[in-house]
Amino acid sequence: MILNTIFHPTSSFEKSFFEPNGRKSMLVVALAGLFLSIAVFLLTTSVVYSIFAFAINIINWFVFSGVLFFFEFIHARKKSKKSDSGFLKSSSAVGTLWEINLFAYFILALGTWLIPIFSGLMFNIAVGLFFALLILSVIVWVIASFKMLKVVFGAQRGKLLLNWLILMILNGLIVTVINRLLASLIF
The reported pTM is: 0.86
Domain around 178? 2-186
The residue with greater pLDDT, 158 or 33, is 33
pLDDT of residue 118: 84
**Torsional class of 48: left (φ above 0), alpha (ψ -120 to 50), beta (otherwise):** alpha
pLDDT of residue 40: 93
> Residue 121's CB: how many other CB atoms inside 10 A?
8
> Alpha-carbon Rg of the chain, whole angstroms?
18
Residue 96 and residue 93: Cα distance in Å, rounded?
5
Is pLDDT of 84 > 60? no
**DSSP conformation class of 18:** H
Query: Would you place residue 85 in the very low, low, confident or very high pLDDT band (cuts 50, 70, 90)?
Result: low
Is pLDDT of 46 > 60? yes
Is pLDDT of 80 > 70? no
pLDDT of residue 142: 92
Is 24:94 a contact under the CB 8 Å cutoff?
Answer: no
* pLDDT (mean) for 105-109: 93
Residue 127 and residue 88: Cα distance in Å, rounded?
38
* pLDDT, tens digit, 9 for 90 and up, residues 109-167: 998 998 888 888 888 898 899 999 999 999 999 999 998 888 888 777 777 888 888 88
Q: Quote the mean pLDDT of the chain.
A: 86
* pLDDT (mean) for 93-111: 92
Query: Would you place residue 62 in the very low, low, confident or very high pLDDT band (cuts 50, 70, 90)?
Result: very high
Give kind and range of the element (H or E) at residue 181.
helix 157-186
By percentage, how much of the chain surpasses pLDDT 70?
Answer: 94
Is pLDDT of 33 > 90? yes
**DSSP conformation class of 73:** H
Query: Would you place residue 78 in the very low, low, confident or very high pLDDT band (cuts 50, 70, 90)?
Result: low
The count of structural domains within the chain is 1
Helical pair 121-153 and 9-18, crossing angle rounded to 10 deg:
50
* pLDDT (mean) for 164-171: 89
Is pLDDT of 74 > 90? no
Is 154:76 a contact under the CB 8 Å cutoff?
Answer: no
Of 91, 30, 24, nearest to 55 by C-alpha is 30
